[in-house]
Amino acid sequence: MRNNLHNYGISFNNHHSTDFGLDILDDKQITYPSKIKTLQRIPHSNSVYDFSQIYGTQNYSERTFTVTFNVIDRSMWSKESMYIQWTKILAWLMEPSQKIPLHDDIMNDYYYLAEVQKEPSFDELRHRGKLTVEFQCDPFRIHELQEGNDIWDPINFELDIFQNVKHDVNGSKQITLYNIGMSNLAPVVVANSEMEIQFKGKSYKVLSGENKVTGFYLLPGVNEFKVIGNGTIKFEFHKEVI
């Protein structure tokens, strides 16, 4: 975490913005995702049915993260050097062709999945300029650490929870997992033998090794299910918050 305001910035595509000598100006804007609603009005009635959670959870729209950089080459102080500088900066920002992690230095233990899709704008001054960049982001911020970690220093007692995500199973076992985020999560299930998960009236087969179990999601809140088998099973997932 960079706690000096002069060093404040973002990390993206293997670089921090200060690697290019960039300062972020005060007009950073982060939008919030809106709920995606599926509404059906009942004929001849004032009632409206909401089918948004028919598959178990509320869906959300994408969001944007917009920053304005102060672009300047402090070693040359020339227009030519400024152009060279923003050429390198645009290559850094525009290179990814899909969403990758974007870390804001504020609450740096979370990241956005983001991509620069819209063209940046540049307000040119004499020897410097203001470059405004908009990142298109998934709706939720993802915690860097997996749930179930026992790292004490970064714990946030207002947002985090301690829970056991690794279990020994001898015949069968009832397991409770907490998804304290806002979205459905598809955990990676790691087992050392074949097992079966029984959850909400459905059965899911787990093979030995790492599994992405089709259709098995942890819903926001408390998730209670049964595991049948013999061996060790672990659930790997990261919470996602607005």
For residues 29 and 22, the answer to whether their CB atoms sit within 8 Å is no
* Residue-wise pLDDT tens digits, 91-104: 999 999 999 999 99
CATH architecture group of domain 5-138: Beta Barrel (2.40)
Q: Which of 12, 153, 140, 112 is nearest to 69 (CA)?
A: 12
Domain layout of the chain by residue ranges: 5-138, 166-236
SS3 116: strand
Provide the whole-model pTM: 0.85
- The CATH number given to 166-236 is 2.60.120
pLDDT given for residue 57 in this prediction = 74
For the ranges 80-84, 88-92, 148-152, the one whose mean pLDDT is highest? 88-92
Q: Which residues of 205-234 are buried (b: 16+ CB within 10 A; e: fewer)?
A: ebeeeebebeebbbebeebebebebebebb
* Residue-wise pLDDT tens digits, 43-57: 766 676 666 666 667
> CA angle at residue 180 from 175 to 184, to 5 degrees?
80
When the pLDDT of each residue in the chain is averaged and rounded to a whole number, the result is 89
d(CA 180, CA 227): 21
- Bridge-based pairing state of the strands 209-212 and 202-206: unpaired
Q: Which residues of 132-168 are buried (b: 16+ CB within 10 A; e: fewer)?
A: ebbbbbbbbbbbeeebbeeeeeeeeeeebeeeebeee
pLDDT at 152 over 90: no
d(CA 237, CA 188): 7
